[in-house]
Amino acid sequence: MNDRVAMVTFSENKNNHIITGTVNTLRKIHGVMPIPPIEQTWLQELSLPDVLGRGMIADMISEGWQINVATEIQKGSQADFAVRGTLSSSNIMRRQFKSGEDFSEVPDTIGVYILGFNLPELDDEKMFVSRIVRANYDSGKHFLADKYSDYYIELEKTNNWKKSELPEEYHELYDICMILKTKIKDQDEVIKMQAIQSPLALDLAQETRRAVAPDDVMNDIMRRERGLSEIHMFLERNKKSGEAVGMEKMIITALQSNFPSEAIEVMKKSAGITDIRLAELKNQAQMN
């Protein structure tokens, strides 16, 4: 899954049931009550440095009845991601709650962080999913653990397990991880080889395939690979030299590589470029 597929798959509340089901799969493993259905999901706008420099695929906030869920999918390794995850969960604690309201009505908060790398803080953990909760330091007794918890899923650690070796309650999550790890063109083979039976995992596979089904979408992804590489190198070159990043040059390169219009819009806003100036850059891109 890449950022474009994640955006199409989870935008416009099309697949809130997958987010709900994934959270409940995690909670079932640890014997925690399921959450009510997610009603609304917002995808945070990712900048180009997010996708290229930090390898982020998706950053989502979801809300249901008295429940807030932060979901992030991070492919590339990022230093101090445990701090980032803790901050993300903290930031959504006050959603659906205003100062002065009854504290008994404060929504529960859950963080789900799906990582394409291993978290240093969890090096000693063999299982590919870890539930992080607050606890009393001396006694180890949980403190509001049913109300606030974070789940870190380390996809690389699934390589150390066969589904048959896992307790049954982990099977569905394992199936979901297999779909998340697999390129869309290889999904059918993986579903067969791994004997994936989870309806939720199969639904995720179907929805991601549907996200890239139109030829023009898939072609957009393929055509922009060269442009992504060039823009990334340009960013690194400017970073090393200490110069300001030339956003206009980046936009021209992106336009020439048929970069998605929503990404162009993000770059335009980041650079403070007007619609008139963007039209001029489009003309330059066509002439070069």
Please report, for residues 20, 184, 206, 208, the alpha-carbon distance to residue 203 in angstroms, rounded to integers and kept in the order given: 13, 13, 5, 9
CB burial of residue 101 (10 Å; 0-12, 13-18, 19+): exposed
Residue 65's identity, in one-letter code, is W
Q: Does residue 237 sit in the same domain as residue 105?
A: no
- Rounded to whole angstroms, the Cα distance separating 229 from 234 reads 9
Q: Compute the C-alpha angle 153/204/162, nearest 5°.
A: 50
pLDDT < 50 regions, the chain: 52-53, 215-219, 221-222, 240-245
Domain end residue (candidates: 184, 211, 238):
211
- pLDDT cut 70: percent of the chain above it: 81
Same-domain check for residues 143 and 63 = yes
Average confidence score pLDDT of the chain: 82
- Region of 225 (left: φ > 0; alpha: ψ -120 to 50; beta: rest) is alpha
State whether the Cα torsion 81-160-19-201 is positive or negative.
positive
Domain, as residue range, for 266: 220-287
The number of domains in the chain is 2
pLDDT of residue 158: 96
Backbone angles phi, psi at 72, to 5 degrees: -130, 135
Q: What is the pLDDT of residue 237?
A: 56
pTM above 0.85, yes or no: no
Report the alpha-carbon distance of residue 211 to residue 9 in Å, rounded: 6
- Asked if 113 and 160 sit in the same domain, the reply is yes
Domain boundary among 160, 180, 211: 211
201 in the same domain as 84:
yes
Q: What are phi and psi of 38, to 5 degrees?
A: -70, 135
Question: Tell me: the pLDDT tens digits for 24-72?
Answer: 999 999 999 999 999 999 887 655 555 544 556 677 889 888 899 999 9
Q: Which of 211, 246, 267 is the last residue of a domain?
A: 211
Compute how many other C-beta atoms are within 10 angstroms of the C-beta atom of residue 274.
10
CA angle 89, 93, 96 (to 5 degrees): 135
